[in-house]
Amino acid sequence: MRERLLRSWARITASHPWRVIIGVLIVTVLAAISASQLRMDMRWSDLLPMNDPKAREFDEIITEYKSASTFLVVIRGEEQQMKQFADAIAQDILHLKQYFSRVDYKLDKEFLSNHALMLAEKEDLETFADMFKDLSLIPLLTSINDNFEEEYVGDEEALSTKEKENEAVRTLDGFHSWLKAMDTFITDPGVANSTLADSAVERFLYGDPYFISQDKRVLLMHLKTTFTAMEVDKDIASTDSVQAILARRLPDFPKVKAGVAGIIPLQKDEMEHITRDMKFSSVLALVLVMVLFMLTFRIWSTPILAGLNLMISLVIAAGGLGLALGRLNMMTSMFAVILIGLGIDYAIHIISVYGERRTIDKDAATAMEETMVRSGPGIITAALTTAAAFFALAISVTQGIKEMGIVLGIGIICAMVTTMIMLPAILIAREKFMVRMTKKPLKQPHVEFKFLGHIGSVIALRPLIFLIAAILITAFFLYQAINIKFDYNMLNLEPEGLETVALQDTIIEAFDLSPDFAMVTTASIDESYEISEKLKQMPLISMVENIADYVPPQRLQEERITEVKKIRRIVGSTGSHTMISYRNISQLTDQLERLDINIYELSQMAFIGGQDKVDAKAKSIIGDPEMPDARSFIIDLVDKIKQHPESAIRQLNRFQKYYEPNLRRRIYKMANPSPITLNDLPQHVKSQYVNERGDKYLVTIYPKEQVYNYEALTRLDKQLEAVSPKITGTPPIFLHLIRLIGRDGLIATLLTVVIVILLLWVDFRSLRFALLGVTPLITGGIWMLGIMKTFGLKLDMLNVMAIPMIVGIGIDDGVHVLHRYIFEGLKKTPVVLRSTGKAVLLTSLTTMAGFGSLMTASYRGWASFGALLVTGVGACFVTTILFIPSIIGLLTSKKLNNENGD
Amino acid sequence: MIRYKEQMLLIIFLSFVLAAALPVGQLYAQDDITADEILKTLTETMNPDQSHGIMTMTIVTSTGQERTFKYETFSKGKGEKSLMKYLEPQRVKGQTILMLNDANDIWTYFPRTKRVRKLATHAKKQKVEGSDFSYEDMGASDAFIDEYNALRLKDEKKEGRSCYKLELTRKAESNASYSRVMLWVDKENFIPLIVDYYHGDDPQLREKQLVCHDVKVIEDIPTPLQCTMYNKLDNTYTGMMIIEITYDIDLADDIFTEMGMQR
């Protein structure tokens, strides 16, 4: 039946080649229209199951909160230049109105200046009430010292979390600025003015207004986009625009370096690299395949026609995918390269046999008929087996693997069908055309791989030796394969030297937080607060942002109102003023010395407690206790006051005159006892935490360190899960994906092996042949992993998918060889290897060329994927040549011996 | 200064463990001993009378560096009073910590400023956030008995020693930090060789693990020379090692005073 159909089709193509070609071209045009609808979804979350709660939550958050799509500008360098640079580019970026609505790189003082004290803890408010009774310099310093001792020495819980450690550093920074202002008034009264005093007040109340690291070496700008990361075109365009601004401005700031980071620039980088890789690898694969073709068949026109046939297959496959899925994801984006490597195989088998037959048969039609019956069954079985193996991946719960299976399954079927329909017609049309042009019969060059025939003869003579050697090699590679390691670090998949990735490390180092944050939504402010409080206790969490930072739960606000009113009352009255004079100057110096002691004791405890950043900041004020000649800024200030008391008294009173009313006014304003509601929030803050419907509140959780190694990721995930199983974001999604892919990969591999065996059983109508056919596949898989381990390579998130794929790909060699054995007879090993062996070698080489082109990809995940498949295809070819002929040789010689014995 | 406090607590704990073998002779390796009896004996034994030693402590700092301290310790009244004086590194040499009332009251002395400062009150009941140690971890002051139900599981070998395995489950009315505690107690000397602490909200999530090893008999008392608390969640640890120790000593009460700190 199959043979009759193949013969009929061969006759039709021989009679009406142009009609067949035109028909296929019409289908190709329609497919191209469908293919143009394909979109690229390049997020890791796109690989998760469609209904996965974490993926769904992630998508909802990204869609509902634009703030979840981060776009950061990371500036490094000298402090003043960084700040000037940030001020300069902020204006430029704001001109990009189509992409950015805000640039946050300074504290939003407007809201805090009206409500700050309602946001403070009740215990802190009680302390402030004492502290603000007299804002003159001496009482204020006395209160600071009292508070300092109580806060950081008396209560060891003060620095119990990372956030509080950072808060301690910010507070010390505020003191440092205040002391510097005092120093400037004393040492350089000409430049000391009310602006300097205002600035000291601001730093005292709010800390450094810029989002700058505690060591003042890194400044962060957070760009609020008008779009979400889902809008890929805007990801690319906005990143390009900001990079252009940086490039334009940077030459004016020689002590500054700047780059972009965050989800949006990373998405752009990934998209660009993958698209570039996809184009380059596809072209390279096509060129390599063509070159192999030309070198093997010693003709140039046929390979070009085969390439044309292949490209038509790809367009039709893409059209099919446009209809079936409508998208490509991170895993399926390289389908064209994979199909070039695989799809050309069918053409090779047809061209190879057609070349052979054309030297035997009298006319093209007969040669094509004979070609189709010889190579057709093998092609159909191989394609169906490969496609079935790929379609088996569709049972995976992971969307990435599922789509990979569907895409490649459809692709293989399209490539096979197109080749079976189109290529015979092209070959016949070409011959007719050439004959018409040259007016003489077309001479088909026929190239034989005689060495394969020799190998076949040697194996047929000593099958046992070859089998034992093959088994020993397999045993060695099995041992290696068992010990192969898995690389869980997702960043090792990214292109090397990617600035967006490198800057993540800069952010982690400078700010103790990773921009790869986790997120969760809650139904109320109270729930946001509760979850955040729990999360803050987790050791791997650096910072948690939530709506309660701006609108505390009602019960907390009610607790605070009395204290806030009290503070307003205190600073609202004119109160007492203490002028500095000869009479009390010693009190001032005593308090300064006390502050020096307090900061020293704090640094000692920070040193013992391992709080390095607090220790470092304290040392920057009081000097390094381990350096004998280190100077304390405070003690130096005291010395200056003592050396020139008259001038110091005058200047410090001047300082007090400037800052005191300003400080009083600001504290009065901050002590606003009106309960804060959502309506009081500036819109940009509200939109960061509350969705448009106003029924969900976003909590953003920043890990403390890089989370892209499995151990850290698992630990973080455990901590997040302990608080809420709903928490999503890049780290939980990635871990989830690793686990799902591991499980799906194993199931898919086993299932494809079973399916392949069943299909071969049906095809050969013999279980023995089916098992024989699958032997080189299984041993080839073992060799593949063993070779990888031997060369120090590891499995990773992407290349692990090559394992189930190689089941579908690697089976082809065995199928073709066995079919030829069936056609020629089991004792014809040299013939089989010389003829089909040639085609199998060539198909393996072209497949390896296709996958090998992926090894040039800058996206390292794809490069390792290509490397694994190249190894796998090569291994499957060698095991096919070694195992099948030697096993068949053994079986036939045994049978022969039995017959002779009988 | 949370890590500061946790180090003190580890010292107290180690002091308790040091005398662990003292009253356990009568219970030596009884197979019919119940979980409550093991726990009671363990708790009773974690209160040494007096000790004086030199130890080192290694911590991981917030920027991921290892830092080792050497100090001298004094303990009296079955852990009721403890004093530790830092010997190394030079920066903290002479800095002293005094703990009274089972570490409910803690003072510290800074030799450069010559100031003694009270650090904390009610440390025992205080929840210690983000640290590798808490007073409660140590099982001192009957915390294990009061706050948990004990169940004896099948004996197991740990660190090459035959151990009683206990599972402590938090009582319903308890406010203890951990939902579950697993103990492997050396049958021979009732030293808890391994203690696993599970997250308060998730009985399957192991937060910390205490490992005591290198047990040597010093002055007839089996003594674990090394104890390390591993924080499984943030991958940090705090380790202690005994360099010298003596139990046969009569410490004067005035060591455990403000004057004693400054001496």
Residues of A within 8 A of B110 (CB-CB) are: 600-601, 604
Burial class (CB in 10 A: 0-12, 13-18, 19+), A695: exposed
Q: What is the pLDDT of residue B31?
A: 65
H or E segment to which residue A322 belongs: helix A301-324
Helix (H, G, I), strand (E, B) or coil at A206: helix
* Span A583-605, average pLDDT: 92
CA distance A270 to B197: 42
Nearest CA in chain B to A722: B202
Instruction: Indicate whether A859 and A819 sit together in one domain.
Output: yes
Best of A149, A167, A608, A710 to substitute, by most chain B Cβ atoms within 10 angstroms, is A608
Residues of A within 8 A of B114 (CB-CB) are: none
Instruction: Indicate whether A252 and A275 sit together in one domain.
Output: no
Q: What is the pLDDT of residue A897?
A: 61
CA distance A690 to A683: 10
Is the confidence at residue A333, as pLDDT, over 60?
yes
H or E segment to which residue A747 belongs: helix A730-764
B116 lies within 8 A of chain A by CB: no
State both tokens at A294.
Answer: 């030309």
Give the distance, in angstroms, between the CA of residue A715 and the centroid of all CA atoms in the same chain: 19
Residues B154-208: pLDDT tens digits?
999 887 889 999 999 998 888 777 889 999 988 888 888 999 988 887 787 788 8
Residues A63-113: pLDDT tens digits?
888 777 789 999 999 999 999 999 999 999 999 999 998 898 888 788 888
What burial letters (b/e) apply to B177-208, b meaning 16+ CB within 10 Å? bbbbbbbbbbbebbbbbbbbbbbbebeebbbb
Level-2 CATH architecture, domain B2-262: Clam (2.50)
A533 lies within 8 A of chain B by CB: no
**How many Cα atoms occupy the beta-carbon half-sphere of A630 within 13 Å?**
14
Q: What is the pLDDT of residue B25?
A: 40
Nearest CA in chain A to B65: A610
CA distance A865 to A809: 14
Determine the longest span between alpha carbons in chain B, in angstroms.
57
CA distance B62 to B22: 38
B81 lies within 8 A of chain A by CB: no
Residues of A within 8 A of B126 (CB-CB) are: 157
B49: phi then psi, degrees, rounded to nearest 5:
-75, -65
What burial letters (b/e) apply to A20-35, b meaning 16+ CB within 10 Å? bbeebeebbeebeebb
Judge: B5–A154 Cβ closer than 8 Å, yes or no: no
Instruction: Indicate whether A461 and A365 sit together in one domain.
Output: yes
Is the confidence at residue A33, as pLDDT, over 60?
yes
The answer to whether residue A467 is domain-embedded is yes
CA distance A34 to A546: 44
Judge: B235–A712 Cβ closer than 8 Å, yes or no: yes
Q: Looking at residue A690, what DSSP letter applies?
A: B
Burial class (CB in 10 A: 0-12, 13-18, 19+), A698: buried
A692 lies within 8 A of chain B by CB: no
The answer to whether residue A601 is domain-embedded is yes
Find the helix packing angle between A17-35 and A399-438, rounded to 10°.
150
Instruction: Indicate whether A303 and A340 sit together in one domain.
Output: yes
> Among A324, A313, A320, which residue's Cα sits nearest to residue A417?
A313
Instruction: Indicate whether A748 and A863 sit together in one domain.
Output: yes
Judge: B62–A154 Cβ closer than 8 Å, yes or no: no
Contacts of A806 (CB under 8 A, 6+ apart): A777, A780, A781, A784, A868, A869, A872, A873, A876
State both tokens at A437.
Answer: 């042009």
A252 lies within 8 A of chain B by CB: no
Residues A560-583: pLDDT tens digits?
999 999 999 988 876 667 888 998
* Span A503-507, average pLDDT: 84
The answer to whether residue A21 is domain-embedded is yes
Instruction: Indicate whether A180 and A239 sit together in one domain.
Output: no
> Among A756, A762, A771, A766, which residue's Cα sits nearest to residue A887?
A771
Q: Which of A149, A540, A723 sits opposite B234 (nearest CB)?
A: A540
Residues A596-619: pLDDT tens digits?
999 998 888 888 878 888 888 999
Residues A759-816: pLDDT tens digits?
888 888 888 888 888 898 899 999 999 999 998 888 887 888 788 778 877 888 888 8
Residues of A within 8 A of B90 (CB-CB) are: 626
Best of B58, B62, B93, B118 to substitute, by most chain A Cβ atoms within 10 angstroms, is B62
Q: What is the pLDDT of residue B27?
A: 44
Q: Looking at residue A631, what DSSP letter applies?
A: -
Instruction: Indicate whether A185 and A232 sit together in one domain.
Output: no
Instruction: Indicate whether A99 and A232 sit together in one domain.
Output: yes
The answer to whether residue A504 is domain-embedded is no
CA distance A334 to A114: 55
The answer to whether residue A790 is domain-embedded is yes
Residues B76-112: pLDDT tens digits?
877 778 888 999 899 999 999 888 876 667 788 999 9
Share of chain A above pLDDT 90, in %: 27
Instruction: Indicate whether A282 and A409 sit together in one domain.
Output: yes
Q: Tell me the pLDDT band of B244, cut-offs 50, 70 and 90.
A: very high
* Span A231-255, average pLDDT: 91
The full DSSP string for chain B is: -HHHHHHHHHHHHHHHHHTTTTT-GGGTT-TT--HHHHHHHHHHHT--SEEEEEEEEEEE-TTS-EEEEEEEEEEETTTTEEEEEEEESGGGTT-EEEEETTTTEEEEEETTTTEEEEEEESTTTS--TT-S--GGGGT-TTHHHHHEEEEEEEEEEETTEEEEEEEEEE-TT---S-SEEEEEEETTT--EEEEEEE-SS-TT-EEEEEEEEEEEEETTEEEEEEEEEEETTTTEEEEEEEEEEE-S----GGGGSHHHHH-
Instruction: Please name the residue that has the structure tokens 């609505």.
Output: A101
Beta-bridge partners for A261: A72
The answer to whether residue A600 is domain-embedded is yes
Beta-bridge partners for B162: B157
Q: What is the pLDDT of residue B131?
A: 37
The answer to whether residue A509 is domain-embedded is no
Instruction: Indicate whether A382 and A476 sit together in one domain.
Output: yes
Instruction: Indicate whether A315 and A377 sit together in one domain.
Output: yes
Contact present, A388 and A408 (Cβ < 8 Å):
no
Instruction: Indicate whether A481 and A579 sit together in one domain.
Output: no
- Per the document, the length of chain A is 902
CA distance A162 to A544: 11
Please name the amino acid found at residue A508: I
* Span A129-156, average pLDDT: 77
H or E segment to which residue A500 belongs: helix A499-511
Beta-bridge partners for B68: B58
Contact map slice: B 186-215 vs A, CB within 8 A: 199, 201-202, 205
Q: Distance from B88 to chain A by nearest Cα, in Å? A: 11
Residues of B within 8 A of A539 (CB-CB) are: 130, 231, 233-234, 236
Domain hosting A329: range is 2-45+268-491+734-901
Residues of A within 8 A of B66 (CB-CB) are: none
Residues of A within 8 A of B111 (CB-CB) are: none
Burial class (CB in 10 A: 0-12, 13-18, 19+), A726: middle
Residues of B within 8 A of A156 (CB-CB) are: 1-2, 4-5, 119-120
Task: State ipTM.
Answer: 0.83
Nearest CA in chain A to B63: A612
Sheet containing A218-225: which strands, arranged edge to edge?
Answer: A100-104, A218-225, A72-77, A256-261
Q: How many domains does chain A have?
A: 3
Q: Looking at residue A120, what DSSP letter applies?
A: S
Q: Which of A597, A605, A613 sits opposite B115 (nearest CB)?
A: A597
Distances (CA, A) of A124 to A110, A133, A747: 21, 15, 57
Domain closes at, from A644, A674, A704: A674
Contacts of A821 (CB under 8 A, 6+ apart): A828, A832, A884, A888
Contact present, B193 and B161 (Cβ < 8 Å):
yes
Helix (H, G, I), strand (E, B) or coil at A253: coil
State both tokens at A568.
Answer: 């307003």
Instruction: Please name the residue that has the structure tokens 């974490």.
Output: A54
Angle at A458 between CA A456 and CA A460, to 5 degrees: 65
* Span A304-310, average pLDDT: 84
